[in-house]
Amino acid sequence: MSRFKFVDIGINLTDPMFRGIYRGVQKHQDDLQDVIERAVQIGVKKFMITGGNLQDSKEALHLAQTNDMFFSTVGCHPTRCDEFEKNDPDLYLMELLNLTENNKGKVVAIGECGLDFDRLQFCPRDTQLKYFEKQFELAEQTKLPMFLHCRNSHAEFLDIMKRNRDRCVGGVVHSFDGTKEAAAALMDLDLYIGFNALCMQVMSDVGRHTMTFMYLYRPGNSQKLRTRSLKTEANLEVLKSIPSEKLMIETDAPWCGVKSTHAGSKYVKTSFPTKKKWENGHCVKDRNEPCHIIQILEIMSAVREQDPLELANTLYNNTIKVFFPDM
Ligand SMILES: [Zn+2]
């Protein structure tokens, strides 16, 4: 058994990829149980399944009910906040609230919510601002911490956060890719910062459920590559600047895996048998899994020059304190 213990705070276990379905096509058999088994082997104790809108939150909760190690979040992602207006906004909020209230113990956070100005094509800015703030009602009523998302929107995010900080018990800004100053401002509000492989290695215009970052690696695209390496350096500096008492760790799987082209990949020590085409008992190339959380720890601890076990224990304790306070 692993000497490490982890909580993966951002894991999209409802994604069809974990059922072998890629872009709507069944490519291999459902191997969710193997994915979980691999993660448990390296020390994952709890999985916080991300809910991205009302329907997705229902599915996340439904899955969470199948395993004692699974938990879920309930909320609406900034890129999906137009759903409030496509429905009756108050009713939509009420349904999120009911889902949470009726499943205390399984639902451990309000989220994913926040702002994402990199992807305004999915939801306009004003709508995002309005319904991010509206979701504080959920945090206030349920007294649950928040699982927060902030992309290219730091000033506005901080503004809303400051105005509503006393309405929520706390939370984490996951998949953080902001500056040192932005991280400091969030820590001043007693919020935690979540890192995955992506934060440490690539740039900010990459989002969950998109694969647009592939263009970064296209040969000849030197402008983009240059931007990436600068951003990488800056991100590693940000990671170093945050006290471990304010950090959390996540995979954001099946997205955001460590790529061999990433600067941080040289720090990775643990590898898993991986095939380009799915094979029983193997990871699949380009599908991130919760077991890869150990690789994120390895990069983090190398960059921060910290003992991995000690760092893992701190990250674990931080997460328990915020999301599982009754443990
Ligand atoms: Zn996010």
Give pLDDT tens digits for 176-185. 989 999 999 9
CA distances from residue 20 to 29, 42, 73, 112, 250 in whole angstroms, order as listed = 5, 22, 23, 24, 22
CA of 98 to the centre of ligand 1 (A): 23
For residue range 200-252, list pLDDT tens digits in order: 664 333 333 333 333 333 333 333 333 444 556 777 889 999 999 999 999 99
Contact status, residue 286 vs residue 257, Cβ threshold 8 Å: yes
Region of poorest pLDDT, from 122-136, 184-198, 207-221: 207-221
CA of 44 to the centre of ligand 1 (A): 20
Kindly state the DSSP code that residue 167 receives in the 8-state scheme: G
CA of 238 to the centre of ligand 1 (A): 18
Predicted local confidence at residue 231, as pLDDT: 57
| 112 annotated to bind ligand | yes
CA of 209 to the centre of ligand 1 (A): 10
Q: Which two tokens stand for residue 318?
A: 């931080």
Predicted local confidence at residue 221, as pLDDT: 36
**Bridging pattern class, strands 25-26 and 21-22:** antiparallel
CA of 78 to the centre of ligand 1 (A): 9
CA of 199 to the centre of ligand 1 (A): 11
| 88 annotated to bind ligand | no
Q: Which of 310, 241, 255 is nearest to 288 (CA)?
A: 255
CA of 121 to the centre of ligand 1 (A): 16
| 116 annotated to bind ligand | no
Residue with token string 């000033």: 155
CA of 131 to the centre of ligand 1 (A): 15
Q: Is the per-residue pLDDT at 148 higher than 70?
A: yes
CA of 4 to the centre of ligand 1 (A): 25
Contact status, residue 236 vs residue 303, Cβ threshold 8 Å: yes
Instruction: State mean pLDDT over 124-152.
Output: 97
Contact status, residue 83 vs residue 144, Cβ threshold 8 Å: no
Instruction: State mean pLDDT over 120-135.
Output: 97
Longest Cα pair distance anywhere in the chain, in angstroms? 53
**Calpha distance 68→64 (Å, rounded):** 8
Q: What is the pTM of this model?
A: 0.90
CA of 237 to the centre of ligand 1 (A): 21
Predicted local confidence at residue 8, as pLDDT: 98
CA of 140 to the centre of ligand 1 (A): 21
Ion ligand 1 — residues with CB under 5 Å? Answer: 149, 175
CA of 1 to the centre of ligand 1 (A): 31
| 149 annotated to bind ligand | yes
CA of 17 to the centre of ligand 1 (A): 18
CA of 5 to the centre of ligand 1 (A): 23
| Mean pLDDT of the chain, nearest integer | 89
**Helices and strands per DSSP (H, E), number in the chain:** 12, 12
Instruction: State mean pLDDT over 150-178.
Output: 96
Q: Which two tokens stand for residue 274?
A: 């991986």
